[in-house]
Amino acid sequence: MPGLIVFPFAQRPIGRDSRARIPVRPLAPRIAPAAVRIPDPRHVQVEIPFPAGSPRIFVHEGARQLLERKLSQAALKPAILSVTDNCRSMISFAERGGVLRARLHHMFLDAPSSVKDALVRFIASSTRGRRDRDASDVVGRYIDDCSHRIRAARPFLRPLHTQGQSHDLLALYNALNKKYFGGTVDSLITWGRVGARRGETRRTLKLGSYSATERLIRVHPLLDRGWVPRYFVSYVVYHEMLHHVIPAEASGSRRILHPKQFLVREQLFRDYERALAWERTHIHRLLRARA
Ligand SMILES: [Zn+2]
């Protein structure tokens, strides 16, 4: 589980000049999404009644038909496209009675046209028994880049607690989502639970954590203090939101939790330097504080 762990006088692994060298990849299309998930009712302040058993996503029918037509043209046969919100199978297709039936994750409805072209090439070539490798690579990379749009494999069902005594996590999260992610992040967020530890002084402290299987950000309840500035809580939330959108990278047998893209993006946070400076001067107070 990736998390933000601070140590007194932590050394950041990357220099300030890295921002200039590494291009920041766009995380999400700037256009309105072609499929939206019904928001988790625990994160919606307005009561919206959704009937039980209703579809969990709304799909833009025009976008679905467009992709269905492309598929049919590439496969040279009628195609029926269903759009899913699966968490494991992103693409599946089969041919029955001269009709191509495909089930695709909704991320493909918003895909750039180069990815859509590769997708239909990949499916059409596979149905002919000659899988197009290049097309498959393009599609695979797109799925990796969109991993934050796949729903939780193990949903977190307990109530979420976002309104603290001093800080409202959901308000911070919503503002960050709008400012840095175009509103596309749909992870959950909650204050973590107070640990049982008493009496002893902490040596390290996990200020925030992100669970990919639950799509859940937890923030340490110690930060819910009047003397902890809003921009610092925001920084912790922003850091965990980055874990949601930038998966860990494999490097041999190691997993890099904070790959270059992550570190570059982290520095885009408006109060980045200020937050690190606050952390350096207050870490001992945090370590001594009682939750
Ligand atoms: Zn981290």
Contacts for 125-133: CB closer than 8 Å, 24+ residues apart: 126/93, 127/75, 127/93, 127/95, 127/100
Are 178 and 283 part of one and the same domain? yes
Are 61 and 126 part of one and the same domain? yes
Are 18 and 161 part of one and the same domain? yes
Range with the lowest mean pLDDT among 113-117, 161-165, 197-201, 224-228?
Answer: 197-201
User: What average pLDDT does this structure show over 220-231?
Assistant: 95
User: What average pLDDT does this structure show over 33-39?
Assistant: 73
254 C-alpha to center of ligand 1: Å?
15
Query: What percentage of residues in the chain have a pLDDT greater than 90?
Result: 54
258 C-alpha to center of ligand 1: Å?
6
Specify the pLDDT at position 153. Answer: 77
Give the pLDDT confidence of 16-25 residue by residue, as tens digits: 344 444 555 5
Are 63 and 17 part of one and the same domain? no
Residue 17 burial (10 A CB sphere; 0-12, 13-18, 19+): exposed
Are 166 and 213 part of one and the same domain? yes
217 C-alpha to center of ligand 1: Å?
11
Q: How many CA atoms lie within 13 A of 252 on its CB side?
A: 1
Residue 189: inside a domain, yes or no?
A: yes
Q: How many domains does the chain have?
A: 2
Mean pLDDT estimate for the chain: 83
119 C-alpha to center of ligand 1: Å?
33
Range with the lowest mean pLDDT among 24-28, 87-91, 197-201?
Answer: 24-28
239 C-alpha to center of ligand 1: Å?
6
256 C-alpha to center of ligand 1: Å?
10
Are 68 and 202 part of one and the same domain? no
45 C-alpha to center of ligand 1: Å?
29
Are 145 and 157 part of one and the same domain? no
Which structural domain range is residue 200 located in?
3-28+153-288
Specify the pLDDT at position 49. Answer: 61
85 C-alpha to center of ligand 1: Å?
27
Residue 198: inside a domain, yes or no?
A: yes
Are 237 and 123 part of one and the same domain? no
257 C-alpha to center of ligand 1: Å?
6
Question: What's the pTM?
Answer: 0.69
Are 142 and 226 part of one and the same domain? no
Tell me which of 253 and 97 has the higher pLDDT. Answer: 97
Q: Is the pLDDT of residue 9 over 50?
A: no
Residues 55 and 37: their CA atoms lie apart, in Å, by 9
Specify the pLDDT at position 54. Answer: 58
